[in-house]
Amino acid sequence: MRLIAAAGLVLSLALPAAAQDAQTLADIKQDIAVLKVELQKLNREQSTTGGGIAPLGGSALDRLNAIEAELQRMTSKVEQLEFRIGQVVSDGSNRIGDLDFRLCELETDCDIGALGDTPLLGGGATAEGAAATPAPAPAPSSDPSAGFSGQLAVGEETDFKAADEALSLGDHAGAATLFQRFRENYPGSPLEAAALVGEGRALEGQGDTREAARRYLSAYTNFPDAEAAPEALWRLGVSLAALGSVPEACVTLGEVAGRYPGTDYVGRAQSSMAELGCS
């Protein structure tokens, strides 16, 4: 019976990731630990004399050895994946920190010493819990507030739409003020990333590309899974190019396809890279 249970657990661990219900590395490691315990029990019972279970036949022993070999292989794979995730998180965080530093260098009144450490991608999660898969493609929508009505505070959606309407009418100064006020009045709003992008566009419309780039960077780094994140990353790359940091712009634009495949902004990023002559 334990042999069947152990085999079933190995089979579940070997299924494709799509069938694992977003199983994390921590879950997989826990399953492996359980499987190790079951194998140890089987080995002890097999070697017990007297009142133990009947000796396993040759085919059963072969299955047990195969399960043990598969367990070792999966343990190795999990460790490799954990290492790769750690590298992705570290590399991505370093790139974001470098962008923040370069944006600060472009401002005369920015204190580089006050920037502080860049938080790890994924909200400070360790490599074990961080997500390595790209963010899901957001559903196309002309209204960034669509789909959030059940989560918004009273007046929140109305205030956001007022700011968005001012932007669409070309009132960049008014839109920038309204988006900033929205973020102050509704901290932690599901629309905060979209408000940062909107404020960045409004600032860009006023010719303040540096501050616009800061808003895009903030939207992307703080809300990488938000619907507005692909646009924020694309606009950040375009802004960096406008500020003269073309190599950094090319790297940033190149990240769009890897992090947000299937979104409209992949094509926009590729077009921007072609215009900049990115290699």
**Mean pLDDT within 172-180:** 96
8 A C-beta contact, residue 160 and residue 182: yes
Find how far residue 79's CA is from the centre of its chain: 20
Give long-range contacts, CB 8 A cutoff, 24+ apart: 194-200: 194/144, 194/145, 194/160, 194/219, 194/226, 194/227, 194/228, 195/160, 195/163, 196/223, 196/228, 196/232, 197/228, 197/231, 197/232, 197/235, 198/144, 198/163, 198/164, 198/167, 199/175, 200/232, 200/235, 200/239
In a domain, 201, yes or no: yes
3-state class of 109 per DSSP?
coil
- Regarding whether 278 and 170 lie in a shared domain, the answer is yes
**pLDDT tens digits for range 80-115:** 777 776 666 666 666 666 766 666 666 666 665 565
> What is residue 117's three-state secondary structure?
coil
Q: Is residue 20 part of a domain?
A: yes
User: Above 60 in pLDDT, residue 239?
Assistant: yes
Query: Do 98 and 159 belong to one domain?
Result: no
Host H or E run for residue 167: helix 156-168
* Residue 256 belongs to domain spanning: 155-279
Q: For residue 228, is pLDDT > 50?
A: yes
pLDDT in tens, 56-69: 555 666 766 777 77
* Global pTM value: 0.53
Same domain for 160 and 277: yes
Q: Is the pLDDT of residue 148 over 50?
A: no
State residue 127 phi and psi, 5-degree precision: -60, -30
**Mean pLDDT throughout 201-227?**
93
Question: Which residue, of 86, 102, 118, is where some domain finishes?
Answer: 102
Q: Are residues 167 and 272 in the same domain?
A: yes
pLDDT tens string 31-53 = 676 666 666 666 666 555 544 44
